[in-house]
C-alpha cells in the first residue's frame, strides 16, 4: 500500500498530515503529488471530494520558502465557499512549516485583506474577481509567484470568469508551474490549458468502482418513522463483527446514536461537529475493535479505513450513486466478504434504481437470514441519467423546498459552535431541520436555509449576539 512518505513529501508536511488524520493517499493524490513535485505542469480530472486539495496543496507547500515574504503560490477558486475550504486545508497542511496562507474573496472587507497581504501571505487563495481587484490596486503582486493552481476550472467557465483568469495568468511569471483541476474538459478549458500550460501531464481519476464479488447488497423498504426499529432488527439478525451505519446529517447522526445508546447498545457516533480529540477517540476505539457499531456521516468517515468492518448499513439513502459506492466500499476489504443493507422509503424507489444502474447490480430484498447473492444486471450503468421520481398512488411526491447558502460573520475565533448558530436561528422561527450544512470555520461560518426564509432571516438575525461576536448573515455570492 502506498503511503504519503512514498510520494516524496518532506518530514514537516508528513507530520502535519498525521495530525489531521490522513493515512493513505487517494488515487488523485497518489498520481498528482509526484508529478507536481517533479516540476511538471498538470491537468487533473477529478470530482469534488476526491482529495484534490491535498493533491496540489502538499507539493505547493513543499516548494514555498517560509523565509521569503513574497507571494509564491496562487490558488484561484470559482466561489467563496471553496476559497475558504481550500484555505483552511492548506493552513492545516502547512502548520509545521510556518507558511502564511491568506484568503481573499468578495463579500468581505477588502481593506482587511489588503492588510493581510502587506503583512505576508506566501500562499494566496482567492476568488477570481477579488484577486483581479487586488492586483489592480497593486495590493497583490505576482512577480515572485512560482506556483499557480486553477481549482474547478469548469465551474469558473460556467460562471463566466475565464477571461479574468487569463488576465491573471498573463501577470504571473512565464516560468511558473501550473496545475489545472477540472471535473470535465470542455473545449474552452482545453484551449486554456494549451495556451497557459507547458507540456502538461494529464492525470484522470475515475469515480469509485465497486467490486461486487466481495459485497452482498440488500435493500429494505422502511417508512421514515420505523427506521430505528428496523435498524435494531437488522443488527440483531445480522450480528455484525463491526458495522458502520451511515446517516445523511449531523443532527440525524446524534439522534440515532442517542436512541441506540439508550437501548443499551455499544455504539459510538462520528460527525464533523465533534472536536478533533473526540473524533480521534472514536476512531481509535472502532479501529481497536472495542466498538462494534459506528453511526457516522459521510464526511466524518472519509479517512476511516478499517479492514474488519463486516457490514455497512445505509440508514439514509446516499445522496448520489458515487456516495453509495464509497460507503459500501468500507466493507469487503482484504479478501473478506461484506454485506450492505440500504434502507429506503417508498418515495425513494427511483433513487435506489439509479444506484442499481450505476453499479450494474440488482439489490436483494433483505429479510432475516437472507443469503442470496445479488445478481449483476446485463445493462451497463448510465451514470449521467437523472433519476425520475414516479408518482405514488397517482400523486407526485412533494418537492423539497430549495435552500440557499448564507455566510455568517462569526466563527471559531468568536467561540462559536454549530449549536450556537442553530439556536440563534431557531429563535427566529426556523425548525432545526430547516437549517442545513452548518460549517463553522475560523472567522466565518456557512449554512443553508429555505429560500423562502432567507431574506427574513438575514434581516432579523442582524446584530444578534452569538458566542463572543455579533451576527451578520448574507447570501453567498457563489
Decide if pLDDT at 433 tops 60: yes
- Over residues 218-227, the pLDDT tens digits come to 999 999 899 9
DSSP state letters, 59-75: HHHHH--TT--S--EEE
| Cell numbers given for 423 | 439556536
Decide if pLDDT at 384 tops 50: no
Separation CA 146–CA 144 (nearest Å): 6
- Are the C-beta atoms of 72 and 62 separated by less than 8 Å? no
Q: Give the CA distances from residue 222 to residues 181, 232, 394, 396, 475, in Å, rounded to whole numbers and listed in that order.
A: 41, 13, 20, 19, 37
**Backbone dihedral angles phi then psi of residue 160, each to the nearest 5 degrees:** 80, 25
* Mean pLDDT of the region 113-132: 93
Letter string b/e over residues 191-228, b meaning 16 or more CB atoms within 10 A of that residue's CB? ebbeebbeebbebebeebebebeebbbbbbebeeeebb
Decide if pLDDT at 287 tops 70: yes
CB within 8 Å of 191: residues ≥ 6 apart: none
- Over residues 310-342, the pLDDT tens digits come to 899 999 998 777 678 778 877 765 456 789 999
Q: What is the pLDDT of residue 264?
A: 83
Determine how β-strand 403-408 pairs with β-strand 473-475. Answer: antiparallel
Neighbouring C-beta atoms of residue 392, cutoff 10 Å: 12
Pick the range with the lowest mean pLDDT from 8-22, 79-93, 271-285, 441-455: 271-285
Of 272 and 339, the structure prediction assigns the larger pLDDT to 339
- Over residues 227-239, the pLDDT tens digits come to 999 998 999 888 8
pTM here? 0.50
- Are the C-beta atoms of 356 and 318 separated by less than 8 Å? no
Separation CA 189–CA 153 (nearest Å): 7
Decide if pLDDT at 440 tops 50: yes
Decide if pLDDT at 365 tops 50: yes
Domains defined along the chain, listed by start: 5-204 (3.40.50.300), 212-376 (3.40.50.300), 403-475 (3.30.70.330)
- Please report how the helices 128-136 and 162-170 are oriented relative to each other, as an axis angle in degrees rounded to 10: 40
pLDDT band at 300 (very low <50, low <70, confident <90, very high): low
Can you name the residues that pair with 339 across neighbouring β-strands? Answer: 216, 311
Greatest Cα pair distance in the chain: 70
Q: What is the pLDDT of residue 276?
A: 64
Q: What is the pLDDT of residue 118?
A: 92
Question: Please, what is the average pLDDT of the chain?
Answer: 83
Amino acid at each position: 500500500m502506498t503511503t504519503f512518505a512514498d510520494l516524496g513529501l518532506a518530514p514537516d508536511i508528513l507530520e502535519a498530515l498525521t495530525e489531521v488524520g490522513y493515512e493513505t493517499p487517494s488515487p488523485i493524490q497518489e498520481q498528482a503529488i509526484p508529478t507536481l513535485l517533479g516540476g511538471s505542469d498538470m491537468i487533473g480530472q477529478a470530482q469534488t471530494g476526491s482529495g484534490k486539495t491535498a493533491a496540489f496543496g502538499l507539493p505547493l507547500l513543499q516548494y514555498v520558502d517560509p523565509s521569503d515574504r513574497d507571494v509564491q503560490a496562487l490558488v484561484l477558486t470559482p466561489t467563496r465557499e471553496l476559497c475558504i475550504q481550500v484555505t483552511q486545508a492548506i493552513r492545516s497542511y502547512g502548520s509545521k512549516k510556518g507558511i502564511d496562507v491568506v484568503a481573499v474573496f468578495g463579500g468581505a472587507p477588502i481593506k482587511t485583506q489588503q492588510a493581510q497581504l502587506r503583512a505576508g501571505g506566501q500562499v494566496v487563495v482567492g476568488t477570481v474577481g477579488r484577486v483581479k481587484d487586488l492586483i489592480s490596486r497593486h495590493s497583490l503582486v505576482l512577480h515572485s509567484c512560482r506556483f499557480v493552481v486553477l481549482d474547478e476550472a469548469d465551474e469558473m467557465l460556467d460562471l463566466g470568469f475565464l477571461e479574468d483568469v487569463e488576465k491573471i495568468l498573463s501577470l504571473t511569471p512565464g516560468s511558473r508551474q501550473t496545475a489545472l483541476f477540472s471535473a470535465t474538459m470542455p473545449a474552452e478549458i482545453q484551449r486554456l490549458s494549451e495556451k497557459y500550460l507547458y507540456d502538461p501531464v494529464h492525470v484522470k481519476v475515475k469515480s469509485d468502482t465497486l467490486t461486487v464479488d466481495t459485497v452482498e447488497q440488500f435493500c429494505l423498504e422502511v417508512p421514515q418513522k420505523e427506521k430505528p426499529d428496523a435498524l435494531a432488527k437488522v443488527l440483531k439478525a445480522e450480528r455484525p463483527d463491526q458495522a458502520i451505519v451511515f446517516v445523511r446529517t449531523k443532527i440525524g447522526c446524534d439522534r440515532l446514536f442517542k436512541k441506540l445508546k439508550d437501548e443499551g447498545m455499544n455504539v459510538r457516533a462520528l460527525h464533523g461537529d465533534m472536536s478533533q480529540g473526540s473524533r480521534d477517540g472514536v476512531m481509535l476505539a472502532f479501529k481497536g475493535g472495542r466498538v462494534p457499531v459506528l453511526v457516522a456521516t459521510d464526511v466524518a468517515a472519509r479517512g476511516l479505513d478499517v479492514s474488519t468492518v463486516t457490514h455497512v448499513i445505509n440508514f439514509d439513502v446516499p445522496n448520489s450513486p458515487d456516495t453509495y459506492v464509497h460507503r459500501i466500499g468500507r466493507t469487503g476489504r482484504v479478501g473478506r466478504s461484506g454485506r450492505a443493507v440500504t434502507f429506503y422509503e417508498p418515495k425513494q424507489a427511483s433513487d435506489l434504481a439509479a444506484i442499481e444502474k450505476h453499479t450494474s447490480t440488482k439489490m436483494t430484498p433483505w429479510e432475516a437470514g437472507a443469503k442470496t447473492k445479488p445478481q449483476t444486471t446485463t445493462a451497463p450503468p448510465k451514470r449521467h441519467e437523472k433519476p425520475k421520481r414516479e408518482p405514488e398512488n397517482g400523486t407526485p411526491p412533494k418537492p423539497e423546498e430549495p435552500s440557499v447558502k448564507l455566510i455568517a460573520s462569526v466563527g471559531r475565533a468568536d467561540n462559536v459552535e454549530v449549536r450556537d448558530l442553530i439556536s440563534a436561528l431557531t429563535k427566529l422561527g426556523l425548525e432545526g431541520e430547516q437549517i442545513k450544512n452548518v460549517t463553522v470555520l475560523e472567522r466565518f461560518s456557512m449554512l443553508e436555509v429555505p429560500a423562502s426564509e432567507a431574506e427574513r432571516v438575514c434581516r432579523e438575525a442582524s446584530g444578534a449576539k452569538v458566542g463572543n461576536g455579533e451576527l451578520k448573515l448574507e447570501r453567498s455570492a457563489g
